[in-house]
Amino acid sequence: MMLPNIETFIGCESSFEEASVVLYGAPFDSTTSFRPGARFGPSAMRHESFGLETYSPYQDRDLMDIRAFDSGDLELCFGSSEMALSDIEKRAEEILNAGKFPLLLGGEHLVTLAAVRAAAAKYPDLHIIHFDAHADLRDDYLGAKLSHACVLRRCHEILGDNHIHQFCIRSGEREEFQFARKHTDFHPFTFEGLKETVRELKEKQVPVYFTIDLDCLDPSVFPGTGTPEAGGVSFVELLEAIRTVSQVNLVGADVNELAPMLDASGVSTATACKVLRELLLAVAK
């Protein structure tokens, strides 16, 4: 029997019914402030994932041992952020309501807001662990409230003070840094303090959403992104941090801001694929 050529992320071959983790792609980059291209991130990751092994020697786990389903990319309206967010939120809600773990592939970072809206509706005491070079706490960007530069500020409006835990942040306006020191659990530059944060969240057993902006990585290992910022973490540091975060009660996650065409070497896409493999293996029950 011949089957249609449907490309999934490597090792994500379960049916929706069997799966514990469901991937969904949001190829959206309409509010990118500098270099666009993140809309091509999810499809590039699927395509290039076949250069990876399904086995992770770091975790001694294999994608073939977990049950993950790749639901493909949403068809999103590039002209309306609100319409795009609404479609992403509906998909996240559908996955959550089926009792499965939604894992979103961006896209620019604004897509996280939709997933957080869905998760917060189900889990009112939601916390966010946020890895990023940028604080993303602007109240508006050139007058727009819906921008990838404002996404964590919009999340703060939903979740309130001390529910957002930020790491590796090394860029933003002075006002964003002042806002962070007042309203979020703020850890600039590195993952310092992550173990303590994870211990507290684990003790409280609160639901946690995990958002990884890949530009937390140093541009020397991850140049393929819209707003690269020197002074980032290494791949190995990120991997260890992901494994630390996986100890909390995670209810959803995303990997965002890969713009594959901005790195002709393909290394950024390969790195993003490896981050996703490790994240999948860390979160799959």
Q: Which residues bind Mn ion (CB under 5 A)?
A: 132-134, 213, 215
Nearest to 275 by CA among 41, 83, 101: 41
Q: Is the dihedral of CA 94, 49, 113, 119 positive or negative?
A: positive
Shortest Å, Cβ 12 to Mn ion:
26
Rounded to the nearest 10°, the torsion over CA 233, 234, 240, 243 is 80
| Nearer to Mn ion among residue 51 and residue 231 (C-beta) | 231
Shortest Å, Cβ 133 to Mn ion:
5
Contact predicate 103/254, CB 8 Å = yes
| Nearer to Mn ion among residue 213 and residue 278 (C-beta) | 213
Report the residue number whose CB is nearest to Mn ion: 134
Q: Which residue has the tokens 């303090």?
A: 193
| Nearer to Mn ion among residue 127 and residue 134 (C-beta) | 134
Shortest Å, Cβ 107 to Mn ion:
12
Nearest to 53 by CA among 68, 41, 63: 63
Nearest to 32 by CA among 116, 95, 111: 111
Q: Give, rounded to a whole angstrom, the gap between the first and last alpha carbons of the chain.
A: 33
Query: Would you say how long the chain is, in residues?
Result: 285
Shortest Å, Cβ 61 to Mn ion:
28
Q: Which residue has the tokens 């994870």?
A: 198
| Nearer to Mn ion among residue 132 and residue 278 (C-beta) | 132
| Nearer to Mn ion among residue 39 and residue 134 (C-beta) | 134
